[in-house]
Structure 1
Amino acid sequence: MADKNFLPIAIDIANQKILIVGGGQSAYSKLKILQRHNAEVEILAIDVCDEIKNSGVKYIEAPYHKNYLKDYLMLYSCSNNEELDRQIEKDCREEKVLVNIHDKPDRCQFVSPAIYRHGKISVAVSSNGENVYESIRIRNLIKDKLQLED
Structure 2
Amino acid sequence: MKNFLPIAINIADQKILIIGGGHSAWSKIKILQRFDANIEVIAREVSEEIKQSGIPYKEKDYEKADLRGYLMFYSCTNNPELDQQIAEDGKEAGVLVNIHDQPDLCQFVSPAIYQDGDIRVAVSSNAKDVFASIRIRNEIKEYLENKIHN
2:132 is matched with 134
TM-score, with length taken from structure 1: 0.97
Cα deviation code 1:30-51 (max 9, x no counterpart): 0011010110000000000000
TM-score, length basis structure 2: 0.97
Q: What is the CA deviation profile of residues 41-90 of structure 1, one whole-angstrom value per residue up to 9, with x for unaligned ones?
A: 00000000000000001000000000111100001000000111011001
What aligned pairs does 1:68-107 form with structure 2 within 5 A after superposition? 68-107=66-105
2:115 is paired with a residue whose SS is: strand
Query: Is the counterpart of residue 120 in structure 1 residue 118 in structure 2?
Result: yes
User: 1:107: Cα distance to partner?
Assistant: 1.0
Q: Matched residue of 1:29: which SS?
A: helix
> 1:106 Cα shift?
1.2
Corresponding residue to 1:55 among 53, 57, 74: 53
Cα deviation 1:103-128 (Å, max 9, x = unaligned): 11111000000000000000000000
Looking at structure 2, the residues matched to 29 and 56 of structure 1 have their Cα atoms a distance apart, in angstroms, of: 15
User: Which runs of 5 or more structure 2 residues have no equivalent in the other structure?
Assistant: none
Q: Percent identity?
A: 62
1:28 offset after TM fit, Å? 0.5
Rounded Cα–Cα distance in structure 2 between residues aligned with 1:33 and 1:100: 14
What secondary structure is seen at the aligned counterpart in 2 of 1:54? helix
In the alignment, structure 1 residue 145 sits paired with structure 2 residue 138: no
CA distance in 1, matches of 2:104, 2:68: 24
Distance 2:103 2:81 in 1: 16
| Counterpart position of 1:42 | 40
In structure 1, the residue corresponding to 2:61 is in which secondary structure? coil
Report the Cα distance in structure 2 between the residues aligned to 1:69 and 1:11, rounded to whole angstroms: 19
RMSD: 0.5
1:12 maps to a residue whose letter is N
Select 2:26's aligned residue among 12, 25, 28.
28
